Amino acid sequence: MVSETVANPHEESVDRHARDMANAIRALSIDAVQKANSGHPGMPMGMADVATVLFRDFVKIDPKNPSWPDRDRFVLSNGHGSMLLYAIHHLLGYEDMTIEELKNFRQIGSRTAGHPEYGHALGIETTTGPLGQGLANAVGFALAERMMNARFGDDLVDHKTYAIVGDGCLMEGISHEAIDLAGHLKLNKLIVLFDDNGISIDGKTSLATSMDQVARFKAAGWNAEHVDGHKPDEVKAALERAQTSDKPTLIACKTIIGYGSPKLAGSEKSHGAPLGDEEIKAVRQKLVWESEAFELPDSVVKAWREIGQKGAASRGEWEKRHDAAARAAEFDAFVSGALPGGFEKAMADYRAKLVAEKPKLATRKSSEATLGLVNELTELTLGGSADLTHSVFTQTKNQSPVSAENYAGRYIHYGIREHAMAAVMNGLALHGGFIPYGGTFLTFADYMRGGMRLSALMGIRVIYVLTHDSIGLGEDGPTHQPIEHLAMLRATPNLLVFRPADAVETAEAWEIALTETGRPSVLSLSRQNLPTVRDDASQNLTRKGAYVLKDTDGARDVTIMATGSEIEIALAAADTLAGEGIKAAVVSFPCWELFQEQDAAYRAEVLGTAPRVAIEAASGFGWERWLGDKGRFIGMNGFGASGPAPKLYEQFGITAGAAAKAARELLGR
Amino acid sequence: MVSETVANPHEESVDRHARDMANAIRALSIDAVQKANSGHPGMPMGMADVATVLFRDFVKIDPKNPSWPDRDRFVLSNGHGSMLLYAIHHLLGYEDMTIEELKNFRQIGSRTAGHPEYGHALGIETTTGPLGQGLANAVGFALAERMMNARFGDDLVDHKTYAIVGDGCLMEGISHEAIDLAGHLKLNKLIVLFDDNGISIDGKTSLATSMDQVARFKAAGWNAEHVDGHKPDEVKAALERAQTSDKPTLIACKTIIGYGSPKLAGSEKSHGAPLGDEEIKAVRQKLVWESEAFELPDSVVKAWREIGQKGAASRGEWEKRHDAAARAAEFDAFVSGALPGGFEKAMADYRAKLVAEKPKLATRKSSEATLGLVNELTELTLGGSADLTHSVFTQTKNQSPVSAENYAGRYIHYGIREHAMAAVMNGLALHGGFIPYGGTFLTFADYMRGGMRLSALMGIRVIYVLTHDSIGLGEDGPTHQPIEHLAMLRATPNLLVFRPADAVETAEAWEIALTETGRPSVLSLSRQNLPTVRDDASQNLTRKGAYVLKDTDGARDVTIMATGSEIEIALAAADTLAGEGIKAAVVSFPCWELFQEQDAAYRAEVLGTAPRVAIEAASGFGWERWLGDKGRFIGMNGFGASGPAPKLYEQFGITAGAAAKAARELLGR
């Protein structure tokens, strides 16, 4: 293929080389969507020219080594345009992205899911689809790069993060949170290409927005400029300027959605439905694309494969630098995410110390104390909070704040931006080199549900420290008191939700959260002080999900189950009942998901056959699973109220007296 | 009190009149926080000067008639500064905001909850606290004003919406969504005062943001300017300019948090904790404020009460215009929010028609058809969608889009902004004159949880149309397939969650949602077609929450419960079992909350005593409530997948065959 400039149906300045490479993306995209009879052709058609320049001249990847640590990261934030990514991966020669996979677009078991899914195919850096998440993930990637660079230097870490985003990504609130943080932290290796096609599902974006995006990004401390997305030279020049910027860069690429479709170009009708056989024929004619469906000219394949060869060369050079680096082993250990050898023993010793000392602390304070140890044991942990550092206690003394002047820091002030915190943590975890954890109040899980769900769906190690986890937060009132949040989180697949009862269980929960590499965790922590209730720390009992904390002498009359701050109440109720000759066992239930994973015999042993009472200062929704038909729940039946915590517990009847009464009633006494 | 200019401890330009009025706010705030030993003094101290000018010279309210329809709306978006609002209400003479209430700040049962709560005290327009919500509510108020104005003219509707917002409100993503929409719709009667104190909980906002807020708002189509928030003349001049603007206005008021505190002014330490008796003494000295705690100089009270008198005069003039207006009765009917007389009958007739015609439609299409009728019956309904109009089918032919040129429209293109949609709908509902409903995919409830929870907490009539409510959405895959969302919503207090099975139940759900004035509703609707399963529409059976859809001849062997799209599967399973001589009743379960509210006898009758199987293409979390110990759940155990819907149902074992098998196993056959 000769890179001569020829007349293009649409734009004279487009060289034929780039045009054919881009048209290959277009053809594969429309054919795959047509075959699936489902999907989004408009975006790949519109962004094919931009993506071609981006990959041809800039993105540093090696398709044969898709997880090379110093590769550039590419994020397709408007994930509905997934065929753009799949087509590019096929063209670049990713070994798993065969033409068969493209033919199986959107079918069960294929690598080519409707939206790009992390882990489904090589080189997919993150799962996207819910709009704006990818942009915030990209901020996490770019931040991780700067932070790893600060630790290991340019020789080992020096890569860019590229993201393509759509109108939807930029309308979503999370985009504001993410770009404000990126601008503040001067993430100059973050380069975002905005598919500025002026079309969303309902029609012209002018139906709903008048935002000047370039001005908006400038206000957030970004470079930002407009280019014509169908003029490769303009795109290339802008990308070149971005390479040496001291700020993150937005390139707003004016594009035509469905570019190449005689009937549908520029219309929302090209967005989310197959074009139809007839229109596909017309597109082929218009684009002067003569190959049949799923077939590609050799010259085009060759041009795309050359990109990979460049990437392989870059990787080779990096390998040499890596092998020569004094700290190569340390770098590899960071990237592996492995905890240090002595971790388990140190945590066991710490538990023993806690059992001996029996501190009376809020579990948010116990968490801080645990982190004090953890953050000494490993440098992988990267703390943060959505502006509640002194309430959620996520910062330890060896964690200096991350800033544009201090990427070596280990604590991120995420600002009052819960949603971005979750999604940026996802990006940090996906990048490698860090175990991100971040704190806010449990209620504000509401604000970051979108990001939390993706942690769970991707199965990545992100840890949410969610404090003030009940009406126990007191005077701030019902807007700040979680009720349904534990149920919401427990109902979420692949997420561990811990509600520890004391300092020991808090340390245990941290240990599990840090070692579970395939799923995120939530630590639900109290504002109020709680006594240490565990006498035995010889094993991590939280790992069982639930266990008998206080057994009875002889057969139980009743089992009282509770979590977190309500364990104290359960123990008091058991004492009261003991005084009346009623034998009540107390089961601590710090993690439903782990209990569910125990064998049936263990579960039966813990739950027992006696009538059951459960206490949790939250909605009882879901507790029937453990209570059974005859159980009784002591908790919240509606929203909370503003008042001192002890009075609220009285007011809402979450007391040892109420639990004892429920037990008596169950026993008919 | 003479309005002479005297030396002020801090600013010479502050006239004594305004200074004393502002200091009254400061004194009440610090004293109430101190007495409660809980609360946030820094914000009221910092914003007292601004708020004094705002209320003294601009806000049109009549404390004796706090719900006068044409009053200005005031929203304290940074609700932790609640004492600012309570102090002002006390000073203005709201009859319920007595000095005793201020002394009971943050106590159970007081009107002075930790954060302002709608319905707890007169004149509180909305519940705030979760940051950014109030700003988005204010956009809803301001939009409602323009829309009511378009319907009834300046004589009846001509008021402003004022909001105070903090750094947190403007960092939250929802602020982006809200201001973009407000700028686009040119809501020029919206005036936002930004408490630009440069401090958040963790310290200086420069820890986390470098945003140029004025430039940002300008990019969104707002007027925006900086003023010194401690110079009343500057604040007043800016507010005057805002009165005649053709755009919404942001006034960034440079303030000092904790203004007046010698030790803590300008520090985050004044934000969220009592100042302490000693520092309060020092504040009094510094501010030259000689009154004891909770006492006020008569001259100050008089100055504040005069504001109310001005407001009363405005209201009097409005009453005259109202009484003379040709369409006064129609206006009153709009404001009342009452549905027209014939509504119930029309809905009953419609149900009868559906039973006769038995359409096979996706419930999202049934919803559209129902709305076709509803939107003819009443003009209160105000549709909208977060850019999924042609997927969620929320727009009917008599609804033209709302725009800056057409406030008379009845359909809002909220853009790709779910969170703002929820919070703006809250504002629209609170304003009066509208029943807002808005649509997106059920999965994206995640993005608007913050706003939805406040609909429920406030108990207002907002209707969420959430479609594509299961793996039945098919190829878009797990990012778009709700799993835990029904559990999350059902666990939320005071929210009705409907998952109708067919056209009849969809109409019934709409009827209930529209008539339930004290709580919001969710309609969870299918993407895929569903047959009409109801034979009898003589009464609204959805109102019972659950009912026997298909009874058995003689005693049941098994009860199969299902909702929505899985009713079809339940009926097929019952047929299969019937062929084997097993009598299976089918219970349709469109609304858990309403079923819970039925008497025990009815519930027992519906659930029966036979073993139970439940089918729902979602997480089974919570179903134990209805299944009991021996029940079996057929549904999802993890995330979904990308593929055609029918194949996904097979893949995940949500089939009539699986349900029949579960029934057989329960019966030991």
Q: What is the pLDDT of residue A18?
A: 86
ipTM: 0.97
Percentage of chain A modeled with pLDDT above 70: 98
The encoded tokens of residue B237 equal 């001049």
pLDDT, mean over chain A: 96
Residues 96-115 of A with CB under 8 A from B: 106-110, 113-115
Do B173 and A172 lie within an 8 Å CB cutoff? yes
Do B173 and A171 lie within an 8 Å CB cutoff? no
Region of residue B10 (left: phi > 0; alpha: psi -120 to 50; beta: else):
alpha
- Output the CA–CA distances (angstroms, integers) from residue A600 to A403, A540, A613, B613, in the order listed: 50, 19, 20, 21
Letter string b/e over residues A401-439, b meaning 16 or more CB atoms within 10 A of that residue's CB: bbbbeebebbbbbbbbbbbbbbbbbbbbbbbbbbbbbbb
Q: What value does the mean pLDDT take over residues A567-577?
A: 98
- For the cut 80, the answer to whether the pLDDT of residue A320 exceeds it is yes
Tell me, what DSSP letter sits at residue A292? P
Decide if B418 is catalytic: yes
Spatial CB neighbours of B650, under 8 Å, sequence gap ≥ 6: none
Q: What is the pLDDT of residue A113?
A: 97
Three-class HEC string of A200-246: ECCEEHHHCCCCCHHHHHHHCCCEEEEEECCCHHHHHHHHHHHHCCC
B216 touches chain A (CB under 8 A): yes
| Measured distance CA(B384)–CA(B438) in Å, rounded | 5
Q: What is the pLDDT of residue A16?
A: 79
- Output the CA–CA distances (angstroms, integers) from residue B14 to A17, A57, A141, B21, B56, in the order listed: 69, 61, 50, 11, 14
Task: Answer for the pair B566, B615: CB distance below 8 angstroms, yes or no.
Answer: yes
Residue in chain A nearest B418 by alpha carbon? A172
User: Looking at the DSSP assignment, which residues form a beta bridge with residue A190?
Assistant: A161
Among residues B234, B268, B418, B505, which one is catalytic? B418
Q: CB-CB: which of A108, A201, A388 is closest to B648?
A: A108
- Identify from B181, B211, B609 which residue to disrupt to test chain A contact, counting A C-beta atoms within 10 A and taking the largest count: B211
Do B183 and A479 lie within an 8 Å CB cutoff? no
Task: Answer for the pair B509, B521: CB distance below 8 angstroms, yes or no.
Answer: yes
| Mean pLDDT, 10 residues at a time, chain B of 669 residues | 40 69 98 97 98 98 97 98 98 98 97 98 98 98 98 98 98 98 98 97 97 98 98 97 98 98 96 96 96 96 95 98 97 97 97 98 98 98 98 97 98 98 98 98 98 98 98 98 98 98 98 98 98 96 98 96 98 98 98 98 97 98 95 98 98 98 97
Beta-strand ranges (E) seen in B205-315 are: 223-228, 249-254
Q: CB-CB: which of A115, A208, A638 is closest to B477?
A: A115
| Measured distance CA(B73)–CA(B66) in Å, rounded | 10
Do A210 and B184 lie within an 8 Å CB cutoff? yes
The encoded tokens of residue B27 equal 């004194």
Chain A residues within 8 A of B641 when measuring between CB atoms? 108, 113
Q: What is the pLDDT of residue B12?
A: 44
Residue in chain B nearest A493 by alpha carbon? B638
The encoded tokens of residue A651 equal 């007011």
- A437-477 pLDDT per residue, tens: 999 999 999 999 999 999 999 999 999 999 999 999 999 99
Do A184 and B474 lie within an 8 Å CB cutoff? no
Q: What is the pLDDT of residue B273?
A: 94
A215 touches chain B (CB under 8 A): yes
Alpha-carbon distance B245 to nearest alpha carbon in chain A (angstroms): 17
Do B493 and A106 lie within an 8 Å CB cutoff? no
- Output the CA–CA distances (angstroms, integers) from residue B592 to A353, A391, A622, in the order listed: 48, 37, 13
Whether pTM > 0.90 for this model: the answer is yes
- For the cut 90, the answer to whether the pLDDT of residue A13 exceeds it is no
Q: What is the pLDDT of residue A548?
A: 98
| Measured distance CA(A658)–CA(A652) in Å, rounded | 10
Letter string b/e over residues A23-51, b meaning 16 or more CB atoms within 10 A of that residue's CB: bbbbbbbbbbbbbbebbbbbbbbbbbbbb
Residue A294: name the closest of A114, A481, A86, A443 by CA.
A86
Helix (H) or strand (E) holding A497: strand A496-498
Pick from A2-16, A88-102, A168-182, B130-144: least confident: A2-16
> Radius of gyration of chain B from Cα atoms?
28
Q: What is the pLDDT of residue A435?
A: 98
Q: What is the pLDDT of residue B5?
A: 38
| Measured distance CA(B185)–CA(B636) in Å, rounded | 42
- A177-211 pLDDT per residue, tens: 999 999 999 999 999 999 999 999 999 999 999 99
Burial classification of residue A637, based on how many CB atoms lie within 10 Å of its CB (0-12 exposed, 13-18 middle, 19 or more buried):
exposed
Helix/strand/coil for B438: strand
- For the cut 80, the answer to whether the pLDDT of residue A12 exceeds it is no
Q: What is the pLDDT of residue B3?
A: 37
Residue B116: name the closest of A447, B106, B108 by CA.
B106
The encoded tokens of residue B114 equal 């930790």
Which residue type is seen at A478?
A: P
A208 touches chain B (CB under 8 A): yes
A604 touches chain B (CB under 8 A): no
Alpha-carbon distance A496 to nearest alpha carbon in chain B (angstroms): 13
Tell me, what DSSP letter sits at residue B291? P
Pick from A272-281, A384-393, B3-12, B165-174: least confident: B3-12
| Measured distance CA(B247)–CA(B184) in Å, rounded | 9
Q: What is the pLDDT of residue A3?
A: 37
